[in-house]
Every structure is written in C-alpha cells, then in structure tokens.
Chains A and B, each alone.
Chain A
C-alpha cells in the first residue's frame, strides 16, 4: 500500500510582517534610505524591505551601544542583567512558533527544524547565559572579570536567530552591549528579536541591530568605537576581518568554515550511523559550518553503508519549508545555489560518481536535490572545498590511522564524527582528530553548555559553555 502524507502546512498567519523595517538603534526602529527586498527562497516572493545601513547609521548604533554600556548596562549588577536575559528567554519561548515560522519563511529551512532545533536552542542559550550573569566571579577568569565594552557581531544566514543567540546571550551576560548585523538574506528574525528586546524593556542601546550586506559589516567591524569583534561566516571574510583588526585593541573571535569528516568503522551501528550521516550533511540543507560533508567509511563495509544510505535518502522529503513533514527545504539564495551547482559540476567533471534519489523539485525558488558523490579522492574539489549545501563526498579508508590522516588532511578543523561500537577507539581517534568538536555515535548535537569552535582555518575562540564567556571578558 502507498501511504502518502497529505500536505500539513504550518500556518503563516501567526507572523505579522510589516512591509518595511528600519534599523534598531538605541531602542527604536529608525527609518533609512537604502531599502532592499528580502525574499522567501522557497518561492522568491518578497517578504519585506529592510534598510542596508551605511557608515553614518553604523556610527549611530555604535555610539548608542557605547552610551548604554557606560551609563546603564556596564554598571548594572549581574543579577539585574540576568533578569533581562531570563525575560528575553521566556519571551522567545512564548513567541517561538511565530519566530519559527518567520525563520522558515526567510531562510528556507524546514519548519520541523526551526521548531524543534533552532528555537529550543535559542531559548536555551539565553537561559543558560542568564544564569552566568551574576556568577562571573566563579567562571574561572579571576575574582571580578570585567566586560570589554561594545561588541560588533556579524552573523551568517544559515541559523539566523540561533547565531544571534550565540552572540548576544554571552555578550550581554558578561556586561557588554552589542551592535549586531544579521546576514542580508535573513534579516527578519533579528528584527523580530529587536521587538522582543522592546517587549522585555531592555534598556535602550544595549542591543542594536543594523541590517545590511558586506559594506555594513565592514563599517561595523572597522569602527574605532568597537572593543570586540565576533564573526561567524566564511573563512574568506574571516581572514579579511582578522587583517582589518590586526594592530587594534579589538578582541576577535571567528567561527568559520569546515569540511568535517564523518568516520564510519566496520563495527558501527549501521542503521544509526546512516541516520547520523543523513543528519550530518542534509540537516538544514547542508548549510551548516560543522556539516559532516566528507563521509569516510571503512572499505570493508562501504558497499553496505552506501546501500543503506541511498535507501534512506530516497525517503527524504524535499519541498515546502512550512510543511511539517518536509525534511529538506530551500537553498537560501540564488547565489548559494550557483555555488553548490558549480562545485557539484566540478565533482562530476573530475570523475566522481554523482547520485541523487528521484525527487521532484518545485519550479520556483532555489532548490537542490540531496546528492552524494562516490569514488571521491582527496584530490577532488568536492572533498576539499566547503560546499555548504546538501552534497556529500564519500571516501573510503582501511585503518584507523588512515582515517585520522584523511580526516585531518584539510585546512579546516571545526568538527568530526566517529561511528564505532568500540569505546577505546573513540578515545584514540578523538585524541588525534584536529577538530574543535568530535561527536561519537551522533552528529550535529548542540547544547548551550558545550563549547563550540574551530582549529586551523575554522577560526578561533569558543562559543557556548563557560568558555564562551571568555571572548566577552577582559581576561
């Protein structure tokens, strides 16, 4: 019997979109001149217009943050800062359906993920760091660690609200004020978050949101009034930021690209490993910096694992991000889609075998079918460059030492996964893998208590956990 799931769309009526949004500076929305449209990548429908902030507007935002830091937020006792953060966390929970729907509309990710992963983690981050605000003396950074001042934060489009939470929660808990720039393709949830700051009566200027593209980001990062720069995004931009702040007093943390190895041994729990591979690369359309984009599978079980993986991939439901049964949503932008296509074509041209399950893609919008490449070697571009899309490269290995060697043979070092029933091998591997996060028999697991960050060209500094406070304290 064929059991076809009827459409189960989440209602978008809960989101009350305004036709245009200003910048959030000093507690208020300020209109601007340079308006740009933001679209729903699943339909190319225009959702709203936002301002791309110029130098003068960025300057206003940084000044507002400075004043709030000196007059209100800096001097405020930690327990009072905590009250605001707890309040924000609760408001995020209360409005989580609205935020989840808006996130899916603006980003293209399936509602199942924005509802079950992004939003719960956003609230959890605020709750977690709210708890630290009055306990900084016990965080291991000396008896009375001081904040840095004004933090300039630039975040990517793959987890718009979650990356905002990763940045704003620890900064505020530590006593800093912030100017945050969301990505140009996904500004809307940050603007809704600004409304939540108003609703929480957060003092004006503590959180400022300036929307815009690369120029806005550059103006913000290079502003002399900024004490701290936090960036999540591509390695290319990360390097440019590192160059631009070199020689200044600014403290920098960078969370950049990755090309993680997901390593499957012959004694792995196969069915769960296959789930982990799927989750590793197809979660969020592969728009994940720590995605398990290189599958390293032991040669003796490669055939079996690939067969299971293909069978599983055929079940992935690609389509309307707001349908509650969708597993893979839309690619975030035409630009990103072009990059995924270019690298995939290069993979095929270089001789790797390309496979996708039969799946119908919607006509409008930006879509890419889940894809695997087999017969990939370390020399192929698809094995070396970050694709940031639903494309998996499959390589094989023979021994644990070879697995480590191949896994580490990349300029990146953000994450890795190990699948084996042997505990001692997990520890042996984890010691040798040069990656900030090593997952064992799971993948893409996040928790606010756990530090996250990279080795090598995946960046420096840690976000999350007690370690995440360090980047926002003068220590």
Chain B
C-alpha cells in the first residue's frame, strides 16, 4: 500500500515535464456528467440545518470569509475600514469570531497590513494581472513579488485561461509553478475562473493542473465575469481535491468566490464540503468564501439565533 502510494506520488510529479504527459493525464481523468453533478449539488442543497448546527455553521462560515474589495475606487481609507471590520465583524458582540482574511489589490496591501498585523487574520492579495491574467509573465511575477513584499501572506492568482482553452497546458502549468516560486512562503490560491472554462470537464482538468503545479488552494472565480461560484462547480473542485489527496497525500484547499451572498447559500456550501470531502476541510485553512456582502447576512442570522429577533441592516457596519 505504501509502495503504491509512493510510486503514484512520484509519477504525478513527473507530469509537469512534458506537454504530452500533462495532456494524457488530464484527458484521462474521469468525465463529469453535467446533469448528474447538478442534481447532486441540488440534492445537497435541500439539507435542513437548524438550531445548534446552524449556529456552528454560521461561526465557521464567518471564520472562512475572505472579506474582499476589488474595485478601482478602493482607497486606503476604504480598505482600512474593511480590515477593521475583519478583526471585529460584530462590534456589539465580542464572541463573534474574526474572518479568515482580507483580500485586496496589491496597491492596497500596505494599508491593510498595518491594521491586521499580529491579529491572526490573513492578508490576501490578488496578483498576476488580475482579473484577466492577460499580461506578460514577467509582469505577473513582479506583481506577485510586490504584493508579498508589501505584506500579503496569501496570493490569489489567475490562470491563463487563453492558454488553457487553447490546450497549452504546459504553459498554464509553468506559470503557476513560477508564481508559486515568486510567492515564497505566501500561500498560493489559483483562480480557475470557472465561468470562462464553461464545462465541468474543464473545471476538473484545471483543478488537477493547478494542484499538480503546486497550488495551495483552488478558487472558482475572480468575481469579475458574469458567472461566478456555483454549487456544482464547487462540487467538482471538491471531488478533485479529495482525489488529489488520495493520490498524492497532499491536501489542497478550495475557495468558491463571487455570488455567495446569503447565510443559506454559505450553509449549502458547508454541507457540500461535509458530505464530499469531510471534516478535514471544514476549517478556514482549507475552505474559504470569497465574498463581501455575505458577512453581514451571516452576522444578522447570528444575531437572530442568539437574540431571537431580526435586526435591520442599519445595525451592522457597511464595511
């Protein structure tokens, strides 16, 4: 058993050395039946999470939020406010946990770093010519290094979808490897931009590609194209990290991002994690939500559970 696992491990590490080997491997992965995957995701969505389970899920979801602002209009003041909220999401309730991370553009990293220092809240920065990824590799790597130097300990990169869709897997792979190197100690989240990959087969292949190249997390979306995270896409990615760990022994995290706005949605994702990959992934180190408005809904539901009454949005901070 150990011998098999070790040999499987070494086989996979060889894959990145040739385009042919990568292609053969990725196209040899079992297909995904669209109807079946969507049906399974919908079925998991019918789980009824109430009372104590709901309270547990809400606190976990808060700890998993990558509180995000990725706007051209972001200013030092805006991101500092967001970072303050990340530390104490509910000023009225000290028992409320802090979020997982704050996620901003590289230029905003220094301002956030000041606020978060020593807090345990991670600082994530998008990089590699986010969101399109359409820049020369040197520019993407410089972008990454700058973000890390400014204090980011997590980098959210975008894959080269153009190269992926054109079938140039080696190029995608090499870019991820180079970015991982540029990250140094920072964690690398690889954004697949599943809305542009279009098919679940592509999502599964891109997930494996990103994991083979050394990504610490695979992430669905930039939030900048019309289709962002969906339950079925996340299901396919969770199956990929599960199978990858079985094959290599290495655990990779998953981050759905974009379009997750309500507590109900977040709980559906947690149920899916629970019933696809299990408790090992039910931790902010292994599962995150890329979101902004989600946090306030979680807080409102949390307050409702503890006090029994709903309070309006005016009782929660905007950022």
Contact A268 B30, beta carbon cutoff 8 Å: yes
**How far apart sit A441 and B40, CA to CA, in the bound complex (Å)?**
13
Known: A272-B33, A442-B36. A1 touches B282 (CB 8 A): yes
**How far apart sit A441 and B35, CA to CA, in the bound complex (Å)?**
9
Closest to A272 in B: B36
Q: Which of A8, A267, A268 contacts B50, CB < 8 Å?
A: A8
The yes or no answer to A59 lying at the interface (CB within 8 A) is: no
Contact A269 B33, beta carbon cutoff 8 Å: yes
Quick one: which of B33, B51, B57 has the most chain A CB within 10 A? B33
Please indicate the chain B residues that have their CB under 8 angstroms from the CB of A7 in the complex. Answer: 50
**How far apart sit A325 and B274, CA to CA, in the bound complex (Å)?**
13
Interfacial residues of chain A within 22-56, with CB under 8 A of chain B in the complex: none
The yes or no answer to A315 lying at the interface (CB within 8 A) is: yes
**How far apart sit A270 and B54, CA to CA, in the bound complex (Å)?**
32
Known: A268-B30, A324-B48. A3 touches B36 (CB 8 A): no
Flag B79-112 by CB within 8 Å of A: 1 or 0 each.
0000000000000000000000000000000000
Q: Which of A2, A6, A315, A324 contacts B51, CB < 8 Å?
A: A6
13 A–B contacts from the bound complex (CB under 8 Å): A6-B51, A6-B53, A6-B54, A8-B49, A112-B46, A116-B46, A269-B36, A271-B32, A271-B36, A271-B37, A271-B40, A441-B36, A442-B39
Please indicate the chain B residues that have their CB under 8 angstroms from the CB of A8 in the complex. Answer: 48-50
Known: A1-B279, A271-B239. A6 touches B49 (CB 8 A): yes
The yes or no answer to B317 lying at the interface (CB within 8 A) is: no
The minimal Cβ–Cβ distance linking A206 to chain B, given in whole angstroms, is: 36
Contact B283 A275, beta carbon cutoff 8 Å: no
Contact A272 B282, beta carbon cutoff 8 Å: no
Interfacial residues of chain A within 312-328, with CB under 8 A of chain B in the complex: 315, 324-325
Please indicate the chain B residues that have their CB under 8 angstroms from the CB of A4 in the complex. Answer: 53
Interface residues on A, range: 20 to 34
Flag B6-35 by CB within 8 Å of A: 1 or 0 each.
000000000000000000000000111101
Please indicate the chain A residues that have their CB under 8 angstroms from the CB of B32 in the complex. Answer: 269, 271-272
Known: A1-B283, A3-B270, A3-B274. A325 touches B30 (CB 8 A): no
Q: Which of A1, A116, A276, A325 contacts B36, CB < 8 Å?
A: A276
The yes or no answer to B52 lying at the interface (CB within 8 A) is: yes
The minimal Cβ–Cβ distance linking A438 to chain B, given in whole angstroms, is: 16
Known: A1-B60, A3-B56, A5-B53. A272 touches B46 (CB 8 A): no
The minimal Cβ–Cβ distance linking B93 to chain A, given in whole angstroms, is: 22
Known: A269-B31, A315-B275, A421-B31. A5 touches B49 (CB 8 A): yes
Closest to A112 in B: B46
Closest to A314 in B: B278
Flag A253-282 by CB within 8 Å of B: 1 or 0 each.
000000000000001111111011000000
Closest 4 CB pairs of A and B: A272-B36, A8-B48, A324-B48, A6-B53
Quick one: which of A271, A276, A325 has the most chain B CB within 10 A? A271
**How far apart sit A3 and B48, CA to CA, in the bound complex (Å)?**
13
Flag A262-305 by CB within 8 Å of B: 1 or 0 each.
00000111111101100000000000000000000000000000
Please indicate the chain A residues that have their CB under 8 angstroms from the CB of B49 in the complex. Answer: 5-6, 8
